[in-house]
Amino acid sequence: MADRDELIRRRPLVAEAAALRSGERDPLAHVEQTCDRIAAIDGRIHAFVAEPDRRGRLRAEAAEVRARWPEPAEWPALYGVPVGVKDIMHADGLATGAGSAVPAGELTGEQSTVVTRLRAAGAVVAGKTVTAEFAVTAPGPTRNPHHFDHSPGGSSSGSAAAVAAGMVPLAIVTQTVGSMIRPAAYCGVVGFKPSYGRVPVTGVIANAPSLDTLGLFAADLAGVAHAAVVVCDCWRPEAAREATGAGRALPVLGVPTGPYLDRADADALAAFDARVERLRAAGFTVRRVPLMVDFDVVYAQQFVVNRYEVARTHAEWFPRFGDLYRPETVAAIRQGQAVAEADYAAAREHQRAFRDRVYATLAAEGVDLWITPAATGTAPRGLATTGNSVMCLPWSYAGVPALTVPAGSLAPGLPLGVQCVARAGADEELLSWAPAIEAATVMETAAATPIATDAAAGPA
């Protein structure tokens, strides 16, 4: 795309937060430049939900941040940092639309815990980011900044595009099946899905509660690690240090072979295999491990859990506003309504057994991390679909933490990602091991472009 260099910008969160906390950047000037960037390009990308006076609201939020922490020694981790918030999370001062035509007054609720934590850490909400309707499958208007003719992924489409295009350095998102890992890969950013339950989902419109997980998009690994400390429950910095401490060996990587891996497109799988060889050359032990030989069963049982719970989430809204729902969402709800209670109970038992099997295989094979393609291929052409979530599905089903590491691109300049998956609760270790994996896979990205330090210089 002719203007790709104008659209793709990296705003490293750690550098931006450091500039604000050191006093080099002023929160008010900083939100002005964020608004300038959004105003300059979002009319083409459509990552943010429109609001009547974004600039005025952000000026007020930035002024409130300065007043709340007048002493520089007390400036918190995200002091003055603009954050995108997926439009299924309630945030005081902003309506929640969930990408739907359901009246906004029907979707109100108390501010989500994750937004409260972000604001307590000094962040300002740059706006609501576009989501597929109710975070299911009906796509929003967002375009992929790398190529407008291709999907940005979903359901966290606006969030991934906003980070890729440098409109914000951080976005807060959700994943039920593949709504973080896949759009992160399609848009060339880092996506971190913590362990199930590690970030509270209170104040977030549910998709399927047994699967829903909150997470992060940032331009780089350091950014998601910086924000994870703020949003995750009981973060263990000592575990992160121990994972890569002096004398520690590189993690052992496992490639799950079989019907699951066979779902990847041939060109994406070839690119993934090339990166596996780079990891071996860099000193990693990589083991190819048969896993999910019954993947069709795993897929089907996850679908039962997902659709049953989607239908129950909408049990009150759908009878009243079903004529306002989009066809894809209607179909998902109808599928869930047809699931028998006994079939749902059996699927939940299968989910528990599958999780145990994944853990047992890790232990038996001496594997620390699974690595896989982050998606079946690059972003598909057109905006009628958010792409195939199958590479993310089993890990969401098992409730384990996953991470997308950008890993080059295929023609016509569309990003690829490598997915790294750890055992439940090993979020800190996953983020600590990931930089060595990133370095070995020779990530290709746009040059880092921090916000200009001179307010008169305009947006980066």
Strand order in the sheet with 124-129: 124-129, 82-86, 170-175, 213-218, 190-193, 402-410, 414-421, 369-373, 253-257, 286-290
Active site residue 155: yes
| Per annotation, catalytic residue among 112, 156, 159, 179 | 179
* Ranges assigned E (strand) in 203-275: 213-218, 253-257
Question: For residue 347, with 0-12 CB atoms within 10 Å meaning exposed, 13-18 middle and 19 or more buried, which class applies?
Answer: buried
Q: For residue 308, which phi and psi values (nearest 5 degrees)?
A: -55, -45
128 a catalytic residue: no
Contact status, residue 54 vs residue 42, Cβ threshold 8 Å: no
- In 366-446, which residue ranges form alpha helices assigned H by DSSP? 393-398, 427-440
| Residues 378/416, Cβ–Cβ less than 8 Å | yes
Of 80, 88, 165, 73, the C-alpha closest to 126 is 80
**11 vs 49, 221, 451, CA distance in Å?**
21, 12, 7
Tokens of residue 109, six digits: 């609720």
Q: 3-state DSSP call for residue 121? A: coil
At 29, which amino acid appears?
A
For residue 408, give the 3-state DSSP assignment: strand
Instruction: Tell me which DSSP letter residue 183 carries.
Output: H
Indicate if 86 belongs to the active site.
yes
CA distances to 15, 39, 156, 327, 377 from 185, rounded to whole Å, are 23, 25, 12, 27, 9
Question: Peptide bond before 155: cis, by omega within 30 degrees of 0?
Answer: yes
DSSP tag of 95: -
Maximum Cα–Cα distance for the chain, whole Å? 64
Q: What is the dihedral of CA 311, 89, 223, 138, to 10 degrees?
A: 50
Q: Choose, from 100, 112, 151, 155, the residue flagged as catalytic.
A: 155
- Helix spans in 87-198 (H): 113-120, 157-164, 181-187
Catalytic member of 86, 151, 157, 210: 86
Strand 286-290 versus strand 170-175 pairing type = unpaired
Catalytic residues: 86, 155, 179
